[in-house]
Each structure stands twice: as structure tokens, then as C-alpha cells.
Structure 1
């Protein structure tokens, strides 16, 4: 199974673009910070993650502003065929 749920704050939103087939695509970066139990102990976790949305979700992502709190759901994938960098491909965006 490949499903990721994460909350965070939007730190950067790229301008809306279109694929060669005309599909709208948007990318953003989010920052996550929380306390999690790891191996039975509380631990502070922090990360930044690039997220990508296409179709109708692309417009929703592109209209978010820096500082917006969001809950996101999607799947992890490589940025491209030749890349090892992971991005989150969104299936759901919810403002907090």
C-alpha cells in the first residue's frame, strides 16, 4: 500500500503550469513539524516535502498561500523516471 497522510504549513507555491496534453499541474512545498512516538519514546520530527496536484486539484493547490495550514493525502512517487527524489502526488487537499 502507498498512502500518505500529512499535515503542515505551505511554504512555497509554484505557478500553475500545463502538461503537453493540457492537464493543469501545480507544485508546492510544505513543512511538517510534530511530536511522534518512535520506539516507545517521544521525538520531534520535521520535514519539508514537495507536493504535486493535477487536474481540478491543481487549481486548488495553486491558490494556496504561504502560511496556510493544510492536511494532505496522496501517494509517494519519484519526481521523474530518472530521479530518486520523492514527491507526494495529491488525491485530497484540506485547509485546517
Structure 2
């Protein structure tokens, strides 16, 4: 299974663009900070990940407020067929509150 769920803020966002078929695409850089426990030891985690959203969800990503925490759900895929780097393809975004 390839599913990723990440609480993050939108650190950067490109202008909404459209594919030749007219599908809207939102591209962003997501920033995440948290404390995770690994092998019983707490670790401070900080990361940035490239993300894209296509179709209807692109509008939600495009309208989301910068610097506000959201829960992003989606999957990872290569940036392109020959690339070794990956992109987070967002399929859902919802407001996040710490009581989740």
C-alpha cells in the first residue's frame, strides 16, 4: 500500500496551472515539524516535501492559508518516469486541530 498522511503547513505555493487537458494542478512545498519516538528515543523531526494536487482537490490546496496546519492525505510517486526523487500527490486536505 502506498498511502501517506502528514500534518504540515504550506510553506510555498506556485500559481495554479492547467494540463493540456484542462485539469488544474496546484504545486506546493509542505513543511512538517514534530517529535516522534523511535526505538524508545524521542526525535525532533523537520522536513519539507514537494506536493502536487490535481483536479478538484487542487482548488482546496490553492485556497489553503499559508502557515496554517492541515492534514494532507495522498501517495508518493516519482517526480517523473526517469527521476529518483519523489513527490507527494495530495488526494485530500482537511483542517487540522491538535485534538485530532
> With structure 2 as the length reference, what TM-score do the two structures score?
0.90
Q: Give 5+ residue unaligned stretches, structure 2.
A: none
Q: Paired residue for 1:66?
A: 66
2:21 paired with 1:21 = yes
Show structure 1 runs of 4+ deviating over 2 A.
Answer: none
Q: 1:29-73 deviations in whole A, cap 9, x for unaligned? A: 111010001112111111001111001001111112321211100
The aligned runs of 1:1-96 (5 Å cut-off) are 1-96=1-96
SS at match of 1:60: helix
**Structure 1 contact 12–65 (Cα < 8 Å) conserved:** no
Aligned residues: 96
Separation (CA, whole Å) in 1 of partners of 2:28 and 2:62: 8
SS of the equivalent of 1:11 reads strand
- TM-score, normalised with respect to structure 1: 0.94
Structure 1 gap segments, 5+ residues each? none
Distance 1:27 1:36 in 2: 27
